Amino acid sequence: MARQSSFLKLEGTIGDVTFYKGRTGFKARQKGGVSKKRIQNDPRFKRTRENLQEFSRAASAAKFLKDSFREIALKSSDGTLHNRLYSMATKVIYSDSVSNRGERKFELGNLQLLRDFQFSNKATIENTLYVQPASIESTDQVTLTIPAFVPATFLRTVEKTTHFNISWIRASINFVDKSYSSESVSSGEIPIGIEENPELVLNLPKPATPDTHHFYAIALEYLQMLENGSQYQMYDLLQNPAKIMVVS
């Protein structure tokens, strides 16, 4: 790849050379590579076609996970969420030991690989909440339990925040029909003070829906309550952690 050193900042194509503006300046590259038609039909590119099919399924699965957890994605993300979900979805597809290469599917892989997935690497549940949440799964529901704690002591301090909220969110996804739904319950606004907050128990049902997988995530959001009683959401995506705890 060439970099333009001239004062003339070209953009566009001249002959077989394309000029464009990149993040580090104006650059130039020569046309080339293998044609799309050859990749689609040449027997020598069979492995490439297999990889492309599985990469496409991984991208689709990552999008469904992100969309179904939109409530979290809007409030907890470090800018790498989609790429990390895509990487994890690829690993799940590669773990499908039933299908042939190129035909492996996300829903047939080891979905438990998504357990403990952090929606933000900057703010994790572990470096924000210094007590250990627990999940209990039964035949018809999944329960999140957080022991009693003093927020001013066992919650990471974030400037200008006065309250926090903990949510328990379920994303139910049918990767075959490409459909999804979500449901959540919340602790409500809890003051960040020296008074002990009692044990928190949040329940969500586990629907018996054919071909549907359920993902349960804990999310913590910082808030600021103003003197007039109004609530201000701190839309600093690097401060609000969330993590998948249960895959069912």
What is the per-residue pLDDT across 40-80, written as a single tens digit (0 to 9) for each? 555 565 677 767 888 888 999 999 899 999 988 888 877 88
**167, 216 Cβ separation under 8 angstroms:** no
pLDDT attached to residue 7: 44
Name the nearest CA neighbour of 216 among 169, 175, 165, 174.
169
pLDDT-derived band at 4 (thresholds 50, 70, 90) equals very low
Is 128's pLDDT higher than 90?
yes
The position carrying tokens 């999008």 is: 63
Is 166's pLDDT higher than 70?
yes
| DSSP code string of the chain | -EE--SS----EEETTEEEEEETTEEEEEE--S--HHHHHH-GGGHHHHHHHHHHHHHHHHHHHHHHHTHHHHTT---S-HHHHHHHHHHHHHHT--SSPTT---GGGS-GGGGTT-BS-SSS-STTTB-S--EEEE-SSEEEEEE--B-HHHHB---TT--EEEEEEEEEEEETTTTEEEEEEEE---EE-SSSPBPPEEEEEE----TT-EEEEEEEEEEEEE-TTS-EEE---TTT--EEEEEE-
Is 126's pLDDT higher than 60?
yes
Is 24's pLDDT higher than 80?
no
Higher per-residue pLDDT: 39 or 50: 50
The pLDDT of 94-113, averaged and rounded, is 93
Q: For the whole prediction, is pTM greater than 0.95? A: no
Is 85's pLDDT higher than 50?
yes
- The mean predicted confidence, pLDDT, of the chain is 84
The rounded percent of the chain whose pLDDT value lies above 70 is 75
pLDDT-derived band at 30 (thresholds 50, 70, 90) equals low
Higher per-residue pLDDT: 211 or 16: 211
pLDDT attached to residue 149: 97
Is 180's pLDDT higher than 70?
yes
Output the six-digit token pair for 183.
Answer: 């449901």
The pLDDT of 105-113, averaged and rounded, is 95
Cα radius of gyration rounded to whole Å, the chain:
23
29 strand-pairing partners = 18
Nearby residues of 72 by Cβ (< 8 Å), 6 or more positions away:
119, 169, 217, 219, 242
Cα angle 27, 79, 22 (rounded to 5 degrees) comes to: 5
pLDDT attached to residue 137: 94
